[in-house]
Amino acid sequence: MTQAIDQTADIIADAEEQDDYALNPKLAAGVLYAIEAGDRDTLLELMAPLHAADIADLLEQINAFDRRRLVQLYGAEFDGEILSELDEGLREEVMNILRPDVLAEAVRELESDDIVDLVEDLDEPQQEAILDQLEDADRVAVEQALSYPENTAGRLMQRETVFAPEHWTVGEAIDFLRNAEELPEQFYHVILVDPRMKPVGNVTLGKLMSSRRELPMATLVEEVFQIIPVTQDEEDVAYAFNQYHLISAPVVDEDERLVGVITIDDAMAVLDEEHEEDILRLAGVSDEASLSDTIFSAAKGRATWLFVNLLTAILASGVINLFADTVDQMVALAVLMPIVASMGGNAGTQTMTVTVRALATKDLTAQNAMRVIRRELSVGALNGALFGFIMALVAGAWFGVPMLAVVIGVAMLLTQIAAALGGILIPMALDRMHIDPALASGPFVTTVTDVVGFFLFLGLAAQVLL
């Protein structure tokens, strides 16, 4: 027994000495050992120092069998914050493992926005089972939030707000906060409202606590004040927080009355999700993909765009087939074709990635589009001239055919320009048509660079060399 206690202490000490934020392998191994032994006391001791996000990481990293045993052994200690931190794919699985009383208590600990995030993707019977565990006021707040469209401020906001009449003094506000029976677990501003409940300003807690009691609250409002409509898209909300360096912002209904507040942690979570979706979509992977997916769901999520890529590859092969006689007469063309296509594809992907990111951050607009297009064309031409010259030297020395060197040099230059043009115009066109450029740009840009590259190289070869 003493040895087990010493080992547990060593594991905890190792975790505390860790320099980064990764989950300590020794601690994870200790948790698995405690699960295997059915030692709940040791498990609780090991889990006690962990943040909810670290426990969520642990649950995501172990297999389904050990995950079930961990949740069951952890029992009533399971915190609602852990559910909030879990990947969506595992959240439902873990909720099904939890005892109803443990799940009810875990959900009751959460703020309304976290509960909405928890239940919005569940089936209706599962939603009802969780909502039944809430107090009447909390249930009404969550149901009202769920009535707003998905991915809007109404789903993102928390209903728990701290507001005060605009005519109050600092002393009145402080007395109110001290005497309030219940306040949000975290808040950063006191929102000032007019008699119609319309927000008129934010007062930071720092200014509130450092000002004299007789000062009017209205004299302490922040210069930057953004009001978020309840139906505004959450992407635009996240952009506003990032653009104007907001900490929190009031949310208003169609009558401009205060109905909730969005805080920076929720806005940054949306921004992080959007970045992750863009990365996955650019690679042709489902935006819901995660390492916890089953083999079938992972394959299904990637198959769609692999099929699209197959069709574009067939199209590119059709272009090659047009010049089959040319390739037959000069085998060197078959050797050099992949170089032209590969360089064009990489150039197009580089430009496309920069463009998609600029569109997402609203840095690329109608006002600066022509300047950016000219810039990308210039970059493509410069790189095309550089690498075309290099490949001309390589091809000339390799095959000893001077005109072949000229052909590949010119083809490389024109392909790089076409790749730059496709890499910027295709995402812009898709964005203008309200199609997510991160989702659909890749296959189109690849098609353009492959088809144009093969056509230019083989077409020039047919005209010049044969």
Q: Quick one: pLDDT band at residue 212, thresholds 50, 70, 90?
A: very high
Domains, the chain: 2-156 (1.25.60.10), 163-282 (3.10.580.10), 295-464 (1.10.357.20)
Record the tokens describing residue 444, joined without a space: 């189109």
In 217-330, where does DSSP find H-type helix?
Answer: 234-244, 264-282, 295-322, 324-329
Q: For the chain, what percent of residues have pLDDT higher than 90?
A: 36
What is the band of 329 on the pLDDT scale with cuts at 50, 70, 90?
A: confident
Confidence of residue 276 (pLDDT cuts 50, 70, 90): low
pLDDT bracket for residue 22 (50, 70, 90): low
What is the DSSP code (8-state) at residue 216? B
* Structural contact between residues 184 and 111, judged by C-beta atoms closer than 8 angstroms: yes
pLDDT value of position 293? 61
Q: Which of 6-20, 309-323, 365-379 has the lowest mean pLDDT?
A: 6-20
Q: Which residues contact 438 (CB under 8 A, 6 or more apart)?
A: 277, 278, 281, 282, 356, 360
CA distance 410 to 395: 12
Please tell me which residue, 125 or 433, carries the higher pLDDT value. 433
What is the pLDDT at residue 24? 80
Question: Hey, what amino acid is at 295?
Answer: I
Phi/psi region, residue 284 (left: phi>0; alpha: psi -120 to 50; beta: rest), is left
Q: What is the pLDDT of residue 216?
A: 95
Rg of the chain over CA atoms, in angstroms? 30
Q: What is the pTM of this model?
A: 0.64
In sequence order, the 6+-apart residues with CB closer than 8 A to the CB of 157 are: 113, 145, 228, 230, 251, 259, 260, 261, 262, 266
The predicted model gives 95-119 an average pLDDT of 82
Q: From CA 378, how far away is CA 199, in angstroms rounded?
A: 49
Q: How confident is the model at residue 301 (pLDDT cuts 50, 70, 90)?
A: low
pLDDT, tens digit (0-9, with 9 covering 90-100), for 155-199: 999 888 999 999 999 999 999 999 998 888 889 999 999 999 999
Query: What pLDDT does 20 receive?
Result: 61
Q: Is the dihedral of CA 136, 137, 143, 146 positive or negative?
A: negative
Query: pLDDT band for position 109 (50/70/90)?
Result: confident
Alpha-carbon distance of 363 to 466, in angstroms, equals 48
Average pLDDT over residues 6-21: 52
| pLDDT (0 to 100) of residue 1 | 46
The amino acid sitting at 440 is A
List 71's β-bridge partners, or say none: none
Mean pLDDT value of segment 308-334: 84
Weakest-pLDDT range from 40-54, 187-201, 238-252, 272-286: 272-286
74 Cβ contact list (under 8 Å, min separation 6): 40, 43, 44, 47
CB 312 within 8 A of CB 443: yes
- Residue 34: pLDDT band with limits 50, 70, 90: very high
At 450, give phi and psi (nearest 5°). Answer: -70, -50
Confidence check: pLDDT of 2 > 50? no
Question: Which residues, in sequence order, are CB contacts of 357 under 8 Å at separation 6+?
Answer: 278
| pLDDT for position 442 | 81
Residues 442 and 333: beta-carbon distance below 8 Å: no
Gap between the Cα atoms of 448 and 453, Å rounded? 8
Averaged pLDDT, 295-313? 74
Q: What is the mean pLDDT of residues 230-239?
A: 91
* Three-class DSSP category at 376: helix
pLDDT over 90 at 214, yes or no: yes
Contact criterion met (CB below 8 Å) for 258 and 280: no
Which tokens belong to 396?
């000339």
What is the average pLDDT across 46-75?
Answer: 89
